[in-house]
Amino acid sequence: MANLFSPEKVYATTGTFYPDADPETSTVDGFSGRGSIDETFSVIRVGAGTIFDDTSTSILARLYSSATTNQYLRADRAFMLFDTSSITGTVTNVVLSIYKEGLVTALGTPDLHFASSNPVSNTGLANGDYVNRGTTSFGSFTGANFLDAQYTNTTLNASGIANVTMGGISKFSALLSWDINNSFTGTWSASTYSHFLFSSAEYTGTSQDPKLVVTYTLPANPKQDVIWFD
């Protein structure tokens, strides 16, 4: 008696992941920024961070102008980490979703881009994490598509898919298009700002938390597809 294994089947499954709320155990979300300064766009973009928040119910990506022509008071970048250690197989699709709380466009209307991040700790942010973000866009959406009181979903590109860490923590950031492209294309005016504001994991429950939905494939166990013959 012998056996034959049928051709290997591949099964798709989906996992949904959220950052931890405070006190964090595996992951964190929040923002880190550079503020209380008066600098040109190119300088504030690369300077050291001076502020962070990982306990607020809101996260933001923001650029705030100062009273000095063509200079800026503050810039903020959002950070979102997800424990994807349970994923095995091959990742085929990733959707990153954030829940809108507000949009301000006083300096113009940038897009919001997602990129990688690498904060010093997986469970808490710091001032220095302001610079610990990637500069390759994983996907973006416009201010017009940032819909009130609901999730805005972004399907990530191949670079975003590759940023998902199987057996570990997947680390993302959210940046204004001006920031990731190193080019302010809005209309400067004094002492005002543009920002994307969205809910963090500190919001009660998970109905508004940053959300990462990962589709991945698992090969079937060949032993389940055995054909016996004499």
User: Domain ranges in the chain?
Assistant: 2-229
Q: Quick one: what percent of the chain has pLDDT higher than 70? A: 90
Per-residue pLDDT at 9: 63
For residue 90, pLDDT over 80 is answered with yes
Per-residue pLDDT at 12: 86
Mean pLDDT of 55-61: 97
- Ramachandran angles phi, psi of 98, nearest 5°: -130, 150
Q: How far is CA 47 from CA 28, 52, 75, in A?
A: 23, 14, 10
Q: Is the dihedral of CA 47, 104, 115, 19 positive or negative?
A: positive
Per-residue pLDDT at 224: 47
For residue 3, pLDDT over 60 is answered with no
Distance CA 195, CA 42 (A): 18
Q: Which of 29, 5, 6, 35 has the alpha carbon at shortest distance from 17?
A: 29
Query: What would the pLDDT profile of 16-33 be if each residue is shown by its tens digit?
Result: 999 999 999 999 999 999
Q: Quick one: what percent of the chain has pLDDT higher than 90? A: 89
Query: What would the pLDDT profile of 187-223 be if each residue is shown by its tens digit?
Result: 999 999 999 999 999 999 999 999 999 999 987 664 5
For residue 130, pLDDT over 80 is answered with yes
* pTM, rounded to two decimals: 0.91
